Amino acid sequence: MIVVTGATGNLGTLVVEGLIDQVPVEEIAVVVRDAAKAARFGELGVEVRVADYGDPAGLADAFRSGEKVLLISGSEIGQRVPQHRAVIDAAKAAGVALLGYTSVLGGPAADFELAREHQITERYLIDSGVPFVLLRNGWYHENYTEALGQAIANGGVLTSSAEGSRVASASRADFAAAAVAVLTTEGHENKEYELSGDHAWSFEEYTAEVSRQLGDEVPVNRVPAEVHKEILVGAGLPEPLPSILVGVEDAISRGLLAVQTGDLSKLIGRSTTPISQSIAQGLSAAKA
């Protein structure tokens, strides 16, 4: 049995859909907080198990011996370490065969705040003795392209405090396909994969492509870090998220998200999705 936690989120949904295309549905289970949100999967024959990262006791029956499990990192910044530890403890107690974790590009070498909870989780997982595979995901195209419509409506496309450098992003579907690959093939135990796109693009190249597809010139709005943080706070983002996002911009300035290892394209057996394709999807969604 292959088990996916956080299966109704953006990434989890794509992973489960990919698994359904690869293995019989009776070999797939999902662990979710709200069974109603997973009803579509249940109707297809996927086993739905209800448990919460924040409820260690409830996780006790989430896994079975010999299963392969994908722990998709939680979304509650500041709460993820205890939540991830609870999942790892439950998986260890159950005797799972493999526990995959969606971490961050660079792992221990990533020195920005967003990476900190991932690093603590990685260390705990490695020390647990559970057979593991670390999927160190880079930046998603969709971090920029999903909000294109709103950005254009607000008179811009991209506001950044990063000073130059590039981003080797890939689509969320690419990262999901990598997770499916390690869950459905053998030989991934105790391995670490640095996952990033095949092409590292600059913000100027990004806005030039948006301009080309939009038929209208749009620039990068470059601002100092403190101004960028004020913009994010003004947009309604609660702390610590503005500080964390500005920290990511600093990491981009230092080239930490421009790393290209080829691990992602090797796992999925094809080139990663070009940013131009995700831009087209973002503009199409905006028009709809």
Express each pLDDT in 159-213 by its tens digit. 899 988 899 999 999 999 999 999 999 999 999 999 999 999 999 999 999 999 9
Express each pLDDT in 227-254 by its tens digit. 999 999 998 989 899 999 999 999 999 9
How far from the centroid of its chain's Cα atoms is residue 110's Cα? 15
| pLDDT over 90, % of the chain | 87
The CATH code belonging to domain 141-169+196-258+274-288 is 3.90.25.10
Give the N- to C-terminal CA distance of the chain in Å, as an integer. Answer: 39
Express each pLDDT in 76-120 by its tens digit. 888 899 999 999 999 999 999 999 999 999 999 999 999 999 999
Specify the fold of 2-137. Rossmann fold (3.40.50)
- SS3 for the chain is CEEEECCCCHHHHHHHHHHHHHCCHHHEEEEECCHHHHHHHHHHCCEEEECCCCCHHHHHHCCCCCCEEEECCCCCCCCHHHHHHHHHHHHHHHCCCEEEEEEECCHHHCCCHHHHHHHHHHHHHHHHCCCEEEEEECCECHHHHCCHHHHHHCCCCEEECCCCCCECCECHHHHHHHHHHHHHCCCCCCEEEEECCCCCECHHHHHHHHHHHHCCCCCEEECCHHHHHHHHHHCCCCCCHHHHHHHHHHHHHCCCCCCCCCHHHHHHCCCCCCHHHHHHHHHHHHHC
- Whole-model pTM: value is 0.95
The angle at the Cα of 268, spanning 267 to 271, to the nearest 5 degrees, equals: 110
* Ranges of each domain in the chain: 2-137, 141-169+196-258+274-288
- At 209, give phi and psi (nearest 5°): -70, -40
Residue 55 is predicted with a pLDDT of 92
